[in-house]
Every structure is written in structure tokens, then in C-alpha cells.
Chain A
Amino acid sequence: MEKKNKMQDQLPVIELKHVDKHYGQLHVLKDINLTVRRGEVVVIIGPSGSGKSTLCRTINRLETIDSGEILITGEPLPKEGKDLARLRARVGMVFQSFNLFAHKTILDNVTLGPTDVLRVPKAKAREEAMQLLKRVGVDSQAAKLPAKLSGGQQQRVAIARSLAMHPEAILFDEPTSALDPEMIGEVLEVMTELAQEGMTMVMVTHEMNFARRVADRVIFMDAGSIIEENSPDEFFDHPATQRAKDFLNSIKDH
């Protein structure tokens, strides 16, 4: 409760107002309203095809929207060009498939954004990148190409790459879904640490225990709409809607 109250005073980092999106006939996002405040960890869950990944990707405009408004620290997200690039640099993104730059070493993957986008001097960028790689536990792999690393290691590098940009928030789009079970833990551990350090995070995940542990707020989506929005304990123990109950039951079986 204490943390929650504190959060109410924090400034919103991400705001979505009446966001709508269609894929042809399909209405994938329906009047989405969402505010994420500084330091908050918001977990989006829902059945596949519910629009949760799309929602996550609209926040840095990897997906365009049809109508509505998206604000990053109060600034409207530009449609294209250098302004959009500038704003994107302030919101990190971690993908399901890691998406490291295959032709660059682990270290260069992390320094590329700082040196080329933020114009940080090379030596300083390398130094900081090594610290970040150490923090996520892959500093010994710095000189290798991504293909030489395990999925779990690659995903941790991807997190370091995001952190190197000093983002206002990081979006995680099913960060553990492509991982072998034994590697999920190491990635979730890094994410838990980030959450504890006060990083603003929005994540789409199927890891319910993890969600319960780290989330400040759970968003439940179905068929393009936000159906429920609650604290993790409330949501998981007393889901308010039938759809959420059905969803939670369906995953309990596993």
C-alpha cells in the first residue's frame, strides 16, 4: 500500500488515451487507456490474440495506431522521422526473440546505441557497457558474436542494450517465451532486480508467479480491450470478471 500511495504522486512516464487500432477488419485495440507512472511495474496478461503484444509495441510506435494519443513523459509520440527516433531512444524494448545485431559483438551491441544515438564517447560507452554486461552476468562473453551465446544470455544482453540508453521505461514483449525452461529463471532474475531498483517497466508475460511477485499492477486484456486492472494479489485471488476467471483457470491446468 505504501508503495502504491507513493506512486500516485509520481509523474506519468507512459500515457495512452483512447487508443484504437485495426488490422483490416479486425479491431485489435479498443479504446485503450493506460497510465504508467515512474517506477511502476505493469504486467499485461491475457489470452493469445488479445492484443497485449500489439499494445506493448504501440508504446514506442513499432505499431502505428488509428486514433487516440500516446504520451511519453507528457510528450506526444511523433509520427515519424528524427523526433520519433529521439523519443524511442528514451523507451527501451526487449523482444521475445532477443534481436541482437548478429554481425556485432556482444559489447558492440550494447555500445551501438550510446555511441551513435546518444553520441557518448567510445571509451566511456565501452566502460559503461562492460559494467552493464557484468550486472547481467555476461561480461565474460563481451567479445563474442550473439550466435555463440545461449538464449538466456542473449536476452540478458538485450536487456543490457536497453539499459545502456538510460531509458525512462523498458517494454518487455514476452521476454521469456522463446527461452528453454532452464534459462527463464536467469532472465526473470535480472528483470526482478530492475524492478526493485525502480525501473519503470511494462511487460507482457505468461510467467504468472513472476507477475505476482514483481508487478505493481496487472492489466488483463481480452479481444483488444482492457478488461481488468488491479493489484496482482487482488487480480489473481479475486478476479472480477468471468473472462479473467476462465483465463486463470485455463493456465492453472499446466
Chain B
Amino acid sequence: MGVEELLSQFGGKYAQAFRMTWRLTILAFSIALVLGVAVTVLRVSPIKPLRLFGDIYVQIFRNIPGASLLIILVYAFPYLNLVWSYFTCVLIAAGLIPSAFCSEYLMSGINTIPIGQIEAARSIGMTFTQMITKVVIPQALRASVLPLTNLLVSTMLTTAIASQVPLNPQELTGLVAYINTHAVGGVTAFFISAALYCASAVVIGRIGSLIDRKVRIRR
């Protein structure tokens, strides 16, 4: 089947899948950001068990494949009486893994902050929480816009793990599998999905560098 034929037959489904991919991406990335910031705060906290917990968290989620995590959530967790929808399972898997990377990027962002600024924050009587929320995290985020942009792209690609479960509607990768079981889409079906991933990544990249130019701190 050619591109035109595929699109005329499955165009609506591609549009649906594209929306699904974006929906998963944005939600998963939001989870990754929130958890990433939270774990980073634990990792720099003055309480050792919290730091340890944060480090272990990152080691775990940085080092398991998304597909494995999804399969555990979908097929193993029900034995613990934890049954979630496929959509939720995909979101958790596609959010937890980038959250570990998010924390790593923020940690290196924190390392760009001169220690003197921390001392200055202390010397005006800021508590740890105030220092983290007003001085440390804002600067770490500003320093990490480009790596976080890449993380957003890779989060989008991670949402392809949803093709492993019967999500409805499907996202871009799942749709390819669907098309190839219902018609002879062949490699062209992949190309259309790939083109949509690429186009999204280009847009994300452009927006990311615009934001970076605006918020990056020149020292």
C-alpha cells in the first residue's frame, strides 16, 4: 500500500493516534518533571536516608527498560490487587523512567550554581525549603532547558511502549501494529508514524531552544 492509500484508509486513525501520542507525552512528561524535581530535592536534602532513597530511585528507574516496567505494571501488579487501566499503566511507566533522567539533569543544573549563592541564601536566614524553592530549583531548571527538551522528545518515543498493550485508541506505534494486522501496510505504515514523531521532535526542539535563550542565566 502506498502512502496515499494508507492515509485515505487510516487517516482518521493516524490523527487519533497522533493525538494520543501527544496526550501521553505531555502527561508523562508532567509526571516526570514533578517527580524529577521532588526526587532531586530529596537527593540534596540534609537528611541522609532521604538522599539515599532519591539515589536508589534514580538508579532503579534509569536502569530498567520502559517496556519491562509496563509489563510488570500490567501483568504482575494485578497479583498485588493493583489493577489499573492500560492508559494509566502506560502513563506511569512512561513517566517514571524519564523522571530519573530529569533528576540527573537537574542535579547537573544544580552543580552550575556557585556555592556562594547558597551561602548567601543561608546568610539571609532562608530555611532549606526556601533556599530550594527560591534559589536552587529555579536556577537548576533554567540551566537544564536543553537536556529537558531532549527528555521531552525521548519521553515521546518512550510512549511507544503503549504498543505492547491494547490501548484504545492506539498511539502512533500501536497503530502501525494494528494496521499491519488489518491490512498490508508494510514499512510505509511505519514511515508515516516515524514522520509524525520526527515532526513533533523538531517542533519540540525549536520551542526548547527558544525557551533556553529566554531563561538561561548568563554568568
Taking Cβ atoms with an 8 Å cutoff, the residues of A that contact B are 60, 62, 80, 82, 85-93, 95, 97-103, 112-113, 116-117, 145, 147, 158, 161-162, 165
Contacts and interface: CB of A to CB of B under 8 A. Distances in A.
A85 B125 contact: yes
Given A82-B127, A116-B134, A101 B116 contact: no
A88 B120 contact: no
6 contacts: A85-B126, A86-B125, A89-B125, A97-B114, A113-B124, A165-B125
Contacts of B139: 101-103
B116 A102 contact: no
A102 B120 CA distance: 12
Given A102-B117, A103-B139, A147 B217 contact: yes
Of the candidates A82, A116, A165, the one having the most CB atoms from chain B within 10 angstroms of its own CB is A116
B120 A95 contact: yes
Nearest to A164: B124
Nearest to A82: B127
A99 B117 contact: yes
Contacts of A113: 124-126
Nearest 9 interchain pairs by C-beta:
A89-B125, A99-B116, A113-B124, A93-B123, A99-B120, A117-B125, A88-B125, A102-B217, A85-B125
A161 B124 contact: yes
Given A62-B122, A85-B127, A98-B116, 8 more contacts: A85-B126, A88-B122, A88-B124, A97-B114, A145-B217, A147-B217, A147-B219, A161-B124
B138 interface: yes
A147 B126 contact: no
B43 interface: no
A99 B217 contact: no
B218 interface: yes
A58 to B, nearest CB: 13
A62 B119 CA distance: 7
B114 A99 contact: yes
Contact of A101 (B121, B125, B127, B218): B121
Contacts of A62: 119, 122-123
A103 B121 CA distance: 13
